[in-house]
Amino acid sequence: MSQQAIERLNEAVNRLLAGTQKRVKATGGITLNKINNEAGYGHSYIHKFKPFIDNVAQPAIDQYNAAIEAIEAIEAIEAQNNDEVNTSSIATSISPEDKWRNKCKDEEKLKKKYYVQVTELKAKVDKLETINNTLMYRVYELQDSVSVEVAAIKGVK
């Protein structure tokens, strides 16, 4: 049984390293819990195999997570460099007056958009009020007819 369990855990580690998970999400780093869940075990079953953790799982986890951290650091540096390049080129090409004009145009577009939305919503509210009034009148009619029928039934007794 334990040999089969170790084989399942090894297969889970290999799937996680290859990025072909079956039971866990592909996001984030690898943990013992992810290996355990990927192998189909629950309740920290992996911890019953201390030699497997020390010799196989933990080195694979450390190596994979270190590689992920290095990639994320490189991407962060590249993104920061791209932001600096983009902001410097934009800052030199647009004057403060043009920025202000663009901002005013954007605000004008938003104002028109919101006006249209308010108009549409008011029309919907009016329609709902009409429907509500019609339904309330129908309820009144039904209550009136039911009260007449109840009075007739009580009078028969």
**Mean pLDDT for the stretch of residues 63-77:** 87
Q: Residues 28-44: pLDDT tens digits?
A: 889 999 999 999 998 88
The answer, yes or no, to whether residue 67 has pLDDT greater than 80, is yes
Domain assignments of the chain as residue spans, ordered by start: 2-91, 95-156
Q: Secondary structure of 48-94 in the HEC alphabet? A: HCHHHHHHHHHHHHHHHHHHHHHHHHHHHHHHHHHHHHHHHHHHHHC
**How many whole angstroms separate alpha carbon 12 and alpha carbon 19?**
10
The mean pLDDT of the chain is 88
Please state, for a pLDDT cut of 70, what percent of the chain lies above it: 92
Helices (H), the chain: 2-18, 32-38, 50-52, 58-93, 96-156
> Residue 35's CB: how many other CB atoms inside 10 A?
25
**Mean pLDDT for the stretch of residues 117-121:** 96
Single-letter amino acid code for the residue at 50: K
Q: For residue 78, give both structure tokens.
A: 């590249």
Predicted pLDDT of residue 26: 81
The answer, yes or no, to whether residue 83 has pLDDT greater than 80, is no
**How many whole angstroms separate alpha carbon 7 and alpha carbon 96?**
66
Q: For residue 122, give both structure tokens.
A: 């008011």
**Mean pLDDT for the stretch of residues 11-31:** 88
Res. 141 pLDDT band, cuts 50 70 90: very high
Predicted pLDDT of residue 27: 83
Predicted pLDDT of residue 86: 60
Res. 1 pLDDT band, cuts 50 70 90: low
Please state, for a pLDDT cut of 90, what percent of the chain lies above it: 53
**How many whole angstroms separate alpha carbon 20 and alpha carbon 26?**
8
